[in-house]
Structure 1
Amino acid sequence: MTTSTTPESSAAAPLLDLQALVVAVRRRRRLWCSTALLGLLLGAAMAILMPPPPTAVAKVLVAHQEDQPNDPGTLIRTDVGLLQTTRIAAAALQSVKSPEKPEDFMKDYSAVGLTNNLMQITVTGDSDAEAVARAKALADAFVADHVRRIQGAANAEAKALLDQRDRLQGELAQVNKAIGDGSGGSGPKASADLESLFARRAELTSRISDFGQRAAEARIGTPQLVAGTQVVDAPRALRHSLPRTAATNSAIGLVLGLVLGLAVAAVGTVVADRPVLRREIAANLGASVIAELPRRSGRLWRRRRIRTARERLTTSLARTVRGCADPVSLLELGCARSTSALALDVARALAADGPVAVIDGLPGPQLARRRPKPGDPTVVSGEHAASVPHQERRLGVGSVAPGTAWTDLQYLGTQTVLVVRAGHGSAAWLHTVARQLADQCIPVIGVVLIDPDPRDRSDGTLWDGLHTALRGQSERLARQSGSGRRRRERLPMWADRVPDSDQEAR
C-alpha cells in the first residue's frame, strides 16, 4: 500500500493548546477544589488557634517647620523611621518602668503615616491595658523627642544669630570709638574719614537690628510647632471580632488555595501532556473515536443517561463484532473495570447468535475473580485460549498499559477496539500504543472514550484515515482482494517520524 503524508499532518502542533489546557484543568477540579477547601479551613483554624494579640492604636499630629503643600510624605516617613529607634523605645520603656530591652520592644510596635502630618502608632502587649499603656508612653516619648529636637534647632539658630549680632556690636563699638577720636580733626581728609565711619556705623546698626529681629522670630516660631505636635487620638484598645477575623482569614485562604490549586493543575497538565480532547486522542492513536461512555455518577438522572449510553454502546460494539470475520479484542488503557464490564455486556449480546468465549488477558482480577451470573459467557484465561473451539466466537480483553506483553495481543484478536480513559495516558504513550499495534499488524477499528469531557466539542474523527475507520472496512477488503482502487491515506501522528523507506516497506 502506498502511503504519503499531507501538509496538514506534518504541520507543527501549537506550543500550548489553550482549549486542551482549560479542559484538563477543569477535569482536575478535585485538586483545586481540595486546595481551596484546605486553604479555607486553614484560614479559619488560624483565626481560632492563633488569635491576634491585644493591640492599641494612637494617632499623633506632627508639625514640621519645613511643611509644604506639595510634600510627597518625606517628612512623615522620617518621623516613622525616628519612631523605630532605640532612643524612643528606651524612653517609652523607662516611662512604663519595664525591664524589656528596647530592641525587643521595637518588634512589638509599628507606625504608618496617614497624611503628611498625621501618624498612627500600633502597639501590641500581653493585655489590653498593657498595650494602651505602651502606646501612650510611646506617643508621649515621640512627642517629647520631637519637641526637644524643634527647640534644639530653634535655640541653635537663635544662638547663631545672636552671636553674629554680638560680633557686629563689637565692631560697632570700635567704629563709635574711632568717630569719637577723630571728631577734633580738620581738613578734607579728616572729613572724608569721618563720613565713612558714620556710614559704616549706620550699616552696622541696621544689620544688628536685623539679626536681633531674626533671632526673636526664630524663638517666636518654636511655640507654634511645639503646640502643633500632640496626641490627637488617645490610645485605645482594638476590639477583635472572632467571626469577622475567621471570615476574613477563610476568604484569604480560599483564594490562595484556589490560585495555588489552579497553578498546580495547569503546570501538571502541561508537564504530563495527557491528551483529553477527542481530536488529540484520535490524532495520537491514529484511530477515530467511535463511541463515548460517561463515568459513573451518584445522581439518579445521570445514572439513567449513563445506562442508556452503555446499552447503545454495547449494541454498537456487538454489531461491529458480528460484522468482522476475524476475532476482535477490547484493549483498555486506564479503565480495566469498565472494559471488563463492557466486554461481558457485548458477549451477552453476542450469545444470542451462538456460544461466545471471553479471553481474559487483563493483568488484574477484574474478570478472573468475578462471580459468574446465570447466562454469563465463558471466561477463559489467556493461557487456555487455544482450548476454545474454532466454531465458538472469541472476544478478547486485554490491556495496553505500561508493561504490556505486546506479542501476546495478537492471540486476543487480530482486530481491536481501544477503550481509553480520557486524560490517563500521555501523548508519548499513545504514540507507543499505536506503533506497537501497527508492528503487530493489529488494525484499530476505533476508540471508545471513557469519561470524556462533557464540554468537549472537538471532532475525534480522522476523515482521511480510512485505513482504520469502520467506514473503510469494505474499501480495505476490496483493496486486499485487488478489486478496489488504491487511496492515498494519511498515517497516524507517530508515523510522520518513520522514514519514507520504512513506510514503503510497510
Structure 2
Amino acid sequence: MTTRTTPEPPTAAPLLDLHTLVVAVRRRRRLWGSVALLGLVGGAGTAVLLPPAPTAVTKVLVAHQEDQPTDPGTLIRTDVALLHTTRIAGRALEALGSPEKPEDFMKEYEGRGLTNNLLQIEATGDGDAEAVARVRALADAFVADHVRRLREASEAEARTLLDQRERLRSELAEVNRAIGDDPPESGPGASADRESLFARRAELTSQITEFGQRAAEARIGTPQLVAGTQIVDAPRPVRYSLPATAATNAGIGLALGLALGLAAAAVGTVVADRPVLRRDVAAHLGASVIAELPRRSGWLWRRRRVRAARTRLVVSLARTVRGSAEPVSLLELGCARAAGALALDLASALSAERPVVVVDGLPDARLAGRRPRPGDPEVVGAERATTGSRHELRLGVGSVAPGTSWIDVPHLGTRTVLVVRAGHGSAAWLHTVARHLAEQHVEVIGLVLIDPDPRDRTDGTLWDGPPAAPNGGGSRPPRRHGVGLPRIERLPTWSARVPDSEQEAR
C-alpha cells in the first residue's frame, strides 16, 4: 500500500521584503545616481542660466502703540500685510513717477518681519539703482502711512477724552448752580443734600482734571512713536555670488534628484517583482544555484577576479557535461552574450577529449553568425541539432526569454544549465520557464547566476535533507535555507499545476 502525504500549506509571504527591496534598489544605482546627477547639474545650471533680478533691501524700525513683551508677532505681520496694499504701492509709484500699476508693482517687492518691531523690505528692478530707488520709496511710503495712522489714532483718542471732559464740565456747572441757588436750611435732611452736592462737585472736578491729563498724555506719546518709526538700515543692493548660489542650488538639486531617483527605483522594484537574491531565484525556478559569475568590470583587480571565477565555472561545467550520458545545453535568460561566451569556453575545454559541436539556438544566431577565430570549436545552427556523428559531443546554447519556441528546447539538450541574470526576469516568468521545462521533460541540472549582488548572503540551494530512516515514520526534516533556520519551502507554481496522474506517469 502506498501512503500519500499532503504537504503542509505554505506560510504566507510578506507583502514587502525589505531585504529584497534594499538589494534591488542598490542594484539600480545607475538609475537613481543618474537622476541625482541630473538634479545636481540642473541646480547648478539654473544659477548660471537663470540669475536672480537685481535686488535691494532695507530695514525699518516700527514702533507700535500696543507693544507688549509677550506679543507673538501679530503687529509686525499686520505691518507686512499693510505693506502689500495698493495704497502703499501707489504712493511709492507716485514718488518714483512710474506709470506702473500698483497691482503689478506689488509682485516685485516683499516684506518680512525679522522681530516684533523690525521690518525688512526687498524690491527688485532692472538694475541696482532702480532696485535701491524702489525700496527707498517703499520704505518712505510705509513710514509716512504708519506715522499718519499713529497721529490719527492719537488725535481721535485725545478728542474723545476732551469731549468727555467737556461733558463733565457741563455737569459740574449744573452742580455749582444747584449749590448756589439752594439757601441754607436747617434740619438734618437739608444738610445731607448739600453735603452730597459738594461731594459730587469734588468728584467731577477730579474727573475733569484726570481726563485733561490723559488727553495731554495721548498727544505727548505720539511724537515718541513717530520718532521711533524710522529707517535703521539704508537701502542697499544685495550682492549676488554666483559660486555660492550655484553650490546651494546644486546641493538642493542633488538632494531632490536623489530622493526622486530612490523613490522611482523602489516603486519600480515593487511593481516589476524581479527576484534578485539567490534564494528567490532558486525558489521560483525550482533548482539550486551551482555557480555565480560577476559581470565585467573596468578595474584591473576585478577583471582578474572575474576571470578566475569564470575559469572555475568552466571546469565545474566541464565535469558535469563529461559525466552526463545525455546532451547538455545552456539556456540563458537576460545574458545571451555571457551564455554564448561560456559555451565557447566550455567547448574549448572539452575539445581536447573528443570533437565538440556547439549548436546555436540563440536569437539571431549570435554564435553561428560571428566570424570564427583560430582554435574556436565548430558552431552550427539549430537546424543541425539532430544531425552529426555519434562521436561528437553536442553542446546546445539557447534562450528561455519571452518568445522562445519551447518545442525546440529539448533538441538542444535533455539536460540543461540555466544561465540567468539576477533581477532580469519577473517572478511570473521564472515560474513559466520552470513549468515549460518540466512539460518538455528537460531536467535542470542547476543555475548559473550572472551579475549577482555582491552582498547577497542568502543560500540558493534547495535541499530536502538526507533520506528518512526506515523507522522514521516517513517524515523528513524541514528544508534549511542559508542561515540554518528551519523553514517551509514554497513549492513552485508550475509543479502545483501539473496533475497528479501526470506526475506519477513521469
- Show the 5 A alignment for 1:103-502: 103-183=103-183, 190-464=190-464, 492-495=491-494, 497-498=496-497, 501=500
Distance 1:69 1:283 in 2: 70
Once the two structures are TM-superposed, the CA of residue 129 in structure 1 deviates from its matched residue by 0.8
What residue is the counterpart of 1:469 in the other structure?
none
Partner of 2:447, secondary structure, is strand
- Listed one character per residue, the Cα deviations across residues 57-115 of structure 1 (whole Å, up to 9, x for unaligned) are 11111111221112111111111111111111111111111111111111111111111
Distance 1:265 1:142 in 2: 52
Report the CA distance shift for 1:73/1:486 in structure 2 as closer, same or farther (over 3 A). Answer: closer
Choose between structure 1 and 2 for higher RCO, CA contacts under 8 A separated by at least 6 residues. 1
Partner of 2:358, secondary structure, is strand
- Listed one character per residue, the Cα deviations across residues 148-168 of structure 1 (whole Å, up to 9, x for unaligned) are 111111111111111111111
- Listed one character per residue, the Cα deviations across residues 17-41 of structure 1 (whole Å, up to 9, x for unaligned) are 2221111111111111111111111
The AA in structure 2 aligned to 1:265 is A
Once the two structures are TM-superposed, the CA of residue 301 in structure 1 deviates from its matched residue by 2.0
Aligned residues: 488
Once the two structures are TM-superposed, the CA of residue 384 in structure 1 deviates from its matched residue by 2.3
Could you tell which deviates more after superposition, 321-330 or 297-306?
297-306
Once the two structures are TM-superposed, the CA of residue 377 in structure 1 deviates from its matched residue by 2.1
What residue is the counterpart of 1:480 in the other structure?
none
Q: TM-score, normalised by structure 1?
A: 0.91
Partner of 2:363, secondary structure, is coil
Distance 2:376 2:278 in 1: 33
Partner of 2:386, secondary structure, is helix
Distance 1:204 1:140 in 2: 45
- Show the 5 A alignment for 1:28-47: 28-47=28-47
- 1:285–1:492 contact (8 Å) kept in structure 2: no
Partner of 1:445, secondary structure, is strand
The AA in structure 2 aligned to 1:290 is I
Report the CA distance shift for 1:405/1:504 in structure 2 as closer, same or farther (over 3 A). Answer: closer
What residue is the counterpart of 2:485 in the other structure?
none
- Listed one character per residue, the Cα deviations across residues 229-254 of structure 1 (whole Å, up to 9, x for unaligned) are 11111111111111111111111111
Once the two structures are TM-superposed, the CA of residue 453 in structure 1 deviates from its matched residue by 1.3
Distance 1:132 1:284 in 2: 71
Could you tell which deviates more after superposition, 206-215 or 189-198?
189-198
- 1:76–1:118 contact (8 Å) kept in structure 2: yes
What residue is the counterpart of 1:50 in the other structure?
50
RMSD (CA atoms): 2.4
- 1:150–1:222 contact (8 Å) kept in structure 2: yes
- Listed one character per residue, the Cα deviations across residues 433-453 of structure 1 (whole Å, up to 9, x for unaligned) are 111111111111000011111
- Listed one character per residue, the Cα deviations across residues 323-374 of structure 1 (whole Å, up to 9, x for unaligned) are 1101111000000111111111111111122111211111124212111123
Distance 1:465 1:284 in 2: 20
Partner of 1:231, secondary structure, is strand
- 1:431–1:493 contact (8 Å) kept in structure 2: yes
Gaps of 5+ in 2: 468-473, 480-488
What residue is the counterpart of 2:483 in the other structure?
none
Report the CA distance shift for 1:431/1:74 in structure 2 as closer, same or farther (over 3 A). Answer: same
Distance 1:397 1:206 in 2: 116
Report the CA distance shift for 1:380/1:3 in structure 2 as closer, same or farther (over 3 A). Answer: farther
- Listed one character per residue, the Cα deviations across residues 264-308 of structure 1 (whole Å, up to 9, x for unaligned) are 111111111111111111111111110111111222222222112
Once the two structures are TM-superposed, the CA of residue 188 in structure 1 deviates from its matched residue by 5.9
- Show the 5 A alignment for 1:48-87: 48-87=48-87
- 1:183–1:194 contact (8 Å) kept in structure 2: no
Distance 1:245 1:28 in 2: 31
Once the two structures are TM-superposed, the CA of residue 182 in structure 1 deviates from its matched residue by 2.0
Distance 1:69 1:347 in 2: 90
Percent identity, please: 71
Gaps of 5+ in 1: 467-474, 476-484
Distance 1:139 1:111 in 2: 10
What residue is the counterpart of 1:98 in the other structure?
98
- 1:182–1:190 contact (8 Å) kept in structure 2: no
Report the CA distance shift for 1:290/1:83 in structure 2 as closer, same or farther (over 3 A). Answer: same
Distance 2:440 2:13 in 1: 28
